[in-house]
Chain A
Amino acid sequence: MMAQKQYPRSIPVGVVDPVSGDIIPLKLSPSGSLMVDLSEIETVQLNIPPGQEIPVTVGNAEAIPTKFLTPQEVKNAAGNPVDVNVANTDPIPVEFGSAPDVVIPGGVAVTNFPSGFEVSNFPSPLTDDVVAVAPVVGEKTITQTAAALFAGSSALANRQLMRVRNLSLDQQVLVGPSTVAGTGFPVEPGGEYLFKFNKAVAVPVYAISPGAAAKVRVMEA
């Protein structure tokens, strides 16, 4: 009598990990269906026809770190950019490697614009054409020594305006910084010049005569 070959009653079935080549056995779920433990597979490749959508449920308890190839676009395996639609209910923090240029066609509509701003570090008030202090008037003799220009006994504190008239009939004077000898601005005989200052910043103005001494009339305010 010929012996009948015996086959095992159950044969292990598995899937081949394309990366490692290992066979990952299928498991039987409590409902009786076969399932694969994806945690044992490092790479999962889904061959989905272009344009077909598939529902994917991510059950992670913690946020999944996502890194785009570039800040601007996501590419598929063929290197072509693909659109990504993210429908999270909570904002997804995104960290760029470098500050990208953001171009929004049509601009941005702000719906919760505040009704006003309160600026606490506003800069010091600048000069305007309002005389806020009593003016001081005097004469100065402009010589070949560059000297500070003012009307009184010293430069007026918090001055906003200084008007200078060259009283000489034939001698030009130069006004400007302490290096006025070479870079001064000319005030011709009989001419005038008006300086406007930021009253919070004391700026000395120098005058010099390239020739004979000349008188100037100065008003500060």
Chain B
Amino acid sequence: MKYTLTELGDGITKIEMDFADEGVVLECETVVAGGSAEGQAYVPVFERDMRANFRHLFPLPEPEAAEGGEE
């Protein structure tokens, strides 16, 4: 995931987030009140929400092989 923060002025910061580096076509965008610090603080929250809302776009994790193997 990659993101950029852009201060728009008037105390607003835009967050642009892109999951293309993970092979997922999903671009997200939001704005937060405050500067880069507030934007940076909100990035992990926004990322979790986007991954949850668009979970169908992300590949399922590989199931771990059960220990013990076949009898």
Binary contact track B1-42/A, C-beta < 8 Å → 1, others 0: 000000000111000000000000011111111100010011
Nearest to A153 among chain B residues (CB) is B28
List chain A residues, Cβ under 8 A from B10.
178
Question: At the interface, is chain A mostly helix, strand, loop or mixed?
Answer: loop
What 0/1 readout, one digit per residue, does chain B (26-70) give for beta carbons within 8 Å of chain A?
A: 111111111000100110011011101110000000000000000
Interface centre among A141, A179, A204, A213 (most CB of B within 10 A): A141
The verdict on A180 contacting chain B, using a C-beta distance below 8 Å, is yes
Which residue of chain B has its CB nearest to the CB of A140? B49
- Interface-centre pick from B11, B28, B32 (highest chain A CB count, 10 A): B32
Main SS at interface, chain B: mixed
Tell whether, in the assembled complex, residue B29 and residue A154 are in contact, meaning their CB atoms are under 8 Å apart.
yes
Q: How many residues of B contact A (CB 8 A)?
A: 23
Interface code A160-196, partner B: CB below 8 Å = 1, 0 otherwise? 0000000000000000001111000000000000000
Interface residues of B (CB under 8 A from A): 10-12, 26-34, 38, 41-42, 45-46, 48-50, 52-54
Interface residues of A (CB under 8 A from B): 138-141, 143, 145-148, 150-154, 178-181, 204, 206, 208, 213
| Interface pairs A-B: 3 shortest CB-CB | A146-B33, A138-B53, A153-B28
